[in-house]
Amino acid sequence: MKTYRAFLGLGSNMGDRHRMLQRAADAIRMLPGVRIVWYSSVYETDPFGKAGQPKFLNAVGEIETTSDPAELLREVKGIEERLGRISREPWGPREIDVDVLLYEGLVQNDEQVKVPHPGLAERRFVLVPFREIAPDVVHPVSGLTIEDLARRCSDEGRVVKTSYRIIP
């Protein structure tokens, strides 16, 4: 069975944010056919897209998976549901958010899956932790590395490394 390299974004801005990231990481580790490679540091970040809400904790994880992109997306959205995510409003507060950011250089944009994640190149809260673990990964649409995207990103949101870590 072929194994694919994928990157996941994790975020939380409600309740015990660090605990929620760790619980999501624990659930990801238990997915069939998934091996955790590593996680970035945890960063405290300004909310993106909707002001007036608590700051987020964000991290990026690299995994190896035997799941196809649609299956991986279903699995991580199932984790959100099991951890109590409530859909309120676009870009609003959330208990946990797990996104498939990149999947082995694949470009897919259909009703089921959008990879790379459509907002990846415009979001410092994703690019900064992503750059920490995989600066040389190439975005399959722009052809730019994550390092280049992070340097060019016009998002001015605050992204600060914390002392928190996710235990793989």
Q: Active-site residue among 35, 74, 82, 97?
A: 97
Residue 126 lies in a domain: yes
| Per-residue pLDDT at 83 exceeds 90 | yes
Please name the residues in contact with 42: beta carbons below 8 A apart, sequence gap of 6 or more.
18, 21, 57, 58, 59, 129, 161, 162, 164, 165, 166
Residue 167 lies in a domain: no
pLDDT, average across residues 94-114 = 95
CATH number of the domain residue 153 falls in = 3.30.70.560
Q: Which amino acid is present at 16?
A: D
d(CA 143, CA 131): 15
Residue 110 is a catalytic residue: no
| Per-residue pLDDT at 117 exceeds 90 | yes
Q: What's the domain range around 131? A: 4-161
Q: Which of 133, 128, 136, 129 is nearest to 156 (CA)?
A: 128
CB atoms within 10 A of CB 6: 23
Give the count of domains, the chain: 1
pLDDT at 1: 85
| Per-residue pLDDT at 87 exceeds 90 | no
Residue 49 lies in a domain: yes
pLDDT at 90: 86
Residue 53 lies in a domain: yes
pLDDT at 99: 97
pLDDT at 132: 98
Residue 85 is a catalytic residue: yes
pLDDT in tens, 22-31: 999 999 999 9
pLDDT, average across residues 112-117 = 95
pLDDT at 19: 98
Q: Active-site residue among 16, 26, 29, 99?
A: 99
Report the run of H or E that residue 108 belongs to, with start and end: strand 108-109
Residue 168 lies in a domain: no
Residue 157 lies in a domain: yes
Residue 166 lies in a domain: no
Residue 151 lies in a domain: yes
Longest Cα–Cα distance of the chain, Å, equals: 46
Q: Active-site residue among 85, 123, 124, 131?
A: 85
pLDDT, average across residues 105-112 = 92
pLDDT at 88: 85
